[in-house]
Structures are given as structure tokens and as C-alpha cells.
Amino acid sequence: MTDLVIRALTQSDAHLFDSLQVPRLVGRAAFGHRYATVHDGGEYRPEWTRVALRDDTVVARAAWWGGPEDTEPVLVNYFDFAPGEAAAGAELLRSAPWRTEYELIVPADWRDVPEVRAAVSARIAAAEAAGMRLLVERYRYEWTPDDGLPERPGRLEFREEPDDEVILDVLRRVHSVTLDAHARRAIEGPGGLEQAAREELDFFRWCPSPRSWWQLAYTRDGELAGIHVPARNPGGPCIGFIGVVPEARGHGYGYDLLVESTHCLAGQGATSVAGATDRGNAPMAAAFARAGHRIVQERIHLV
């Protein structure tokens, strides 16, 4: 077998990305997305895109993604390799200069379709061979006006909170007892709970949506219940964050917060709203289902 050449693309040879023909079973291509550079009206930058070649033929490819203002990629979400080239795919990831998450986007029924399950397993195995590990599987939801606006329960009062330090303190309280795998990973690291809270705040700031959308929720007795952050990310309107403080749990307030976020985004003219939660977060999954948000994908995160 000839030596493997791994390199980044340039704008002039970005067309090489599509020269690798693989079944569109998983990943962004499975949902109608195409690889296109920012120069060509797409989301990807050729300098953040890498290919592995044998005899000038692309046998593996990966594209890292970041927002318009990002100076480093946020994650890799496009990763494929030719039959028999799993090792090339692993080396492509291993040798990359960025240590980001790999987000594998899959159909909601992927476990029930043998060829799709095999495609998922192959990519996970290649990522693990590159040194990654599975962090979490998540449901990805979508709400549209056709799903109907859920009625507001009316149990909570929502207030804007302009002080980031107050928001940060609420995030610390929310994450002090959490089911969220990303938050738990941050808490287990050297930064602890403070790191988990600041990562959420950084995400809120990263989203190109108004600061005024961040709201705290209070019970009729004036006690803090939680926080909700409807948002817009580069892909469109989304449920940015739903969090209930530990002492207010057990009352189903996550649903109230989700409903309020949905109303906020619908009121801003959203024609679709994305959302996500970990598969293991049963209370939040139940809230999404009750509020009419449909599971449209699953996303597997490796770190």
C-alpha cells in the first residue's frame, strides 16, 4: 500500500472533498447538507479541512467547523473514509492540530437499520483509534409552528437579569447537581464547577442573539426556580439553555422554562426551533416531548 499523504485543502482544490464517494448514511450529508467553503457560500474553511490521499486519491476526509467569528474550530462534524481505510481516517483525526469534539450526526432510528448502525460503529471505532472516547449521545429536537405552541403553565414569573455575575451564580447552582455530560466533564476537570458555569456563560455570549433574552424564573413566592436562554446560533433559533436550581426540582419547572423559550422564539418569528438534551436526561426529554418538540436526529459526541 502506498504512503498516506495528509494535508489541509485550499480554496483552489476544495473540490477534492467531494471526490470521496461514500453512502450518505450518517453525518451532515445524510440530512441534505453539502460541503461548501465560506467563499462559496457554505460554512467550512478549507484551512480547517483535511484529506488523506493515496496516489492522489482521497481515501479519508474531515471538516472542522466554527462560527463566523471563531479563530479556531469548535468541533469536527464531517468525517468519512473509503472502505478499508479506517486506519487512514484515524490518522487524519490523530494528526490534526486541533483537539475538538467530534459530533457524529445520525438518524433517530440508526440502531434499527443495519447499514446505518455499521456506518456509525465504523466512525466511532476510527475516532477511538485516534485517541477519542465516547462522551454522550444526545437527542436533537425540532419545533415548528405546525406543532402548535404549548400553553404557558403560568406558574413562574420571568425577569431579565442584566448582571452576568448573577447569571453565573445561577449556573453554578444548576450545575452543582446535573445530568448533563458536558457539564459533568467540565466539573471533573481542574476548573471544577466554576469551569462548567463559565463554559455555559461563554456559550450564551457566543450566540449572536440579544442579551435581553436571558431570563431568570421565579415562583409566585419570589423564590428562584431557574434560568432559560432562548437563542440564535449560526444555524438558527434554538433552545440555548434550560436549568432548574436544585431546591426547585421535582415540580416539572423544566417544562415551564422550555415553553417560555419556545414562545419567545416563536414571537420573534422563528419558523423552526432546534433543541437538544442527553439521552440520559429523562426529565428534560419528557419536557421536550410534552412541549411538542420532535426528535429528528441523534448526535454522538466523542472527545
Residue 88 lies in a domain: yes
Query: Which of 105, 132, 159 corresponds to the end of one domain?
Result: 132
Q: Are 245 and 254 in contact (CB under 8 A)?
A: no
Range of the domain at 289: 145-297
Residue 204 lies in a domain: yes
Query: Which of 66, 101, 132 corresponds to the end of one domain?
Result: 132
Query: Which of 132, 167, 187 corresponds to the end of one domain?
Result: 132
Please report the pLDDT score of residue 158 as a whole number. Answer: 98
Cα angle for residues 252, 283, 188 (degrees, 5° grid):
115
Residue 115 lies in a domain: yes
> All 3 cell numbers of residue 72?
479556531
pLDDT tens digits, residue range 253-276? 999 999 999 999 999 999 999 999
Residue 137 lies in a domain: no
d(CA 133, CA 137): 12
Which residues are 80's β-sheet partners?
61
Q: Do 85 and 171 lie in a common domain?
A: no
Q: C-alpha 276: how far from its chain's center? A: 7
pLDDT tens digits, residue range 191-207? 999 999 999 999 999 99
Residue 231 lies in a domain: yes
Q: Do 171 and 242 lie in a common domain?
A: yes
Q: Do 110 and 197 lie in a common domain?
A: no
Q: Do 128 and 149 lie in a common domain?
A: no
Q: Do 106 and 163 lie in a common domain?
A: no
- Confidence bin at 1 (pLDDT 50/70/90): low
Render the burial of 115-143: b for 16+ CB within 10 Å, e for the rest: ebbebbebbbebbeebebeebbebbbbeb
Q: Do 21 and 122 lie in a common domain?
A: yes
- Tell me the average pLDDT across 47-70: 97
- Tell me the average pLDDT across 4-23: 97
DSSP single-letter state for residue 117: H
| CATH assignment of the domain containing 245 | 3.40.630.30
Q: Rounded to 5 degrees, what are φ and ψ at 174?
A: -60, -45
Residue 292 lies in a domain: yes
Q: Do 127 and 193 lie in a common domain?
A: no
Q: Do 111 and 237 lie in a common domain?
A: no
Number of domains in the chain: 2
